[in-house]
């Protein structure tokens, strides 16, 4: 039985051993580099989103605590899908953090921006009481 196999990198039909996946080392290296760079790009892109989110909260929240509209954050490019941690208070309110900067979604499309004293993004005692 002949199973047609193709090089995973360039698609050239392969002959020889059944477990052969590439024409040669060049194709193998090219393929592996591509894989690595794709996963690296994914990580880098998400890191960039998180850093941008953090910077946006930092810019909008110079005093440590402020209420802003969700729209204003979106206009600056904030991506609500990405955060580094979240914290739920006993009252059931959920804060989302991008590193030490966080926000609490409020009614009327507003958000409360906060800053945690701990770099881990864990909320501090002062916030827990609110």
- HEC profile for 68-90? EEHHHHHHCCCCCCCCCEEEECC
Question: Measured from the CB of residue 2, what is the shortest distance to Zn ion in angstroms?
Answer: 19
From 23, 68, 73, 111, residue interacting with Zn ion (rule: CB under 5 A): 23
Q: What is the DSSP letter of 80?
A: T
Whether the Cβ atoms of residue 60 and residue 76 lie closer than 8 Å to each other:
yes
From 2, 17, 27, 62, residue interacting with Zn ion (rule: CB under 5 A): 27
Q: What are phi and psi of 83, to 5 degrees?
A: -155, 165
From 6, 10, 35, 41, residue interacting with Zn ion (rule: CB under 5 A): 10
When asked if residue 9 is in the footprint of Zn ion (CB under 5 A), the reply is yes
Q: Which residues bind Zn ion (CB under 5 A)?
A: 7, 9-10, 12, 23, 27
């Amino acid at each position: 039985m002949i199973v047609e196999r193709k090089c995973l990198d360039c698609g050239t039909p392969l002959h020889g051993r059944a477990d052969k996946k590439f024409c040669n080392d060049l194709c193998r290296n090219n393929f592996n580099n591509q894989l690595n760079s794709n996963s690296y790009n994914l990580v880098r892109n998400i890191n960039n989103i998180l850093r941008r989110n953090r910077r946006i909260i930092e810019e909008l929240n110079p005093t440590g605590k402020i209420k802003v509209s969700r729209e204003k954050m979106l206009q600056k490019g904030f991506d609500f899908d990405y955060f580094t941690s979240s914290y739920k208070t006993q009252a059931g309110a959920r804060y989302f953090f991008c590193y030490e900067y966080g926000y609490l979604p409020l009614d009327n499309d507003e958000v409360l921006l906060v800053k945690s004293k701990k770099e881990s993004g864990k909320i501090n005692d002062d916030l827990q009481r609110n």
